[in-house]
Amino acid sequence: MEKTAVVYRSKTGFTEKYARWLAEEVGADLLKADHIKVEDLLRYDTIVYGGGLYAGGINGVKLITKHSRELGDRRLIVFGVGASPCRPEVCEGVEKRNIPAELRGKIRFFLLRGGFDFKKCNAKDKMLMNLLKIKLKKAPDTDKDAKGMLACYDHPADFTSREALQPLLACIRKEENGKEA
Along the chain (181 residues), what's the average pLDDT of each consecutive run of 10 residues? 91 95 96 94 96 90 95 95 87 94 94 90 85 88 83 87 96 68 41
Residue 142 CB: number of other CB atoms within 10 A?
7
Tell me, what's the pLDDT at 48? 97
CATH of 4-116+157-176, one of 3.40.50.300, 3.40.30.10, 3.40.50.720, 3.40.50.360: 3.40.50.360
The answer to whether 23 touches 168, Cβ cutoff 8 Å, is: no
The answer to whether 64 touches 76, Cβ cutoff 8 Å, is: yes
Report the predicted TM-score, pTM, of the whole model to 2 decimal places.
0.88
Per DSSP, the chain holds a count of helices (H) and strands (E) of: 7, 8
Tell me, what's the pLDDT at 110? 97
**Distances, alpha carbon 163 to alpha carbons 21, 46, 135, 167, in Å:** 11, 21, 32, 9
The answer to whether 57 touches 88, Cβ cutoff 8 Å, is: no
Tell me, what's the pLDDT at 179? 46
Tell me, what's the pLDDT at 1? 62
Enumerate the domain spans of the chain.
Answer: 4-116+157-176, 118-155
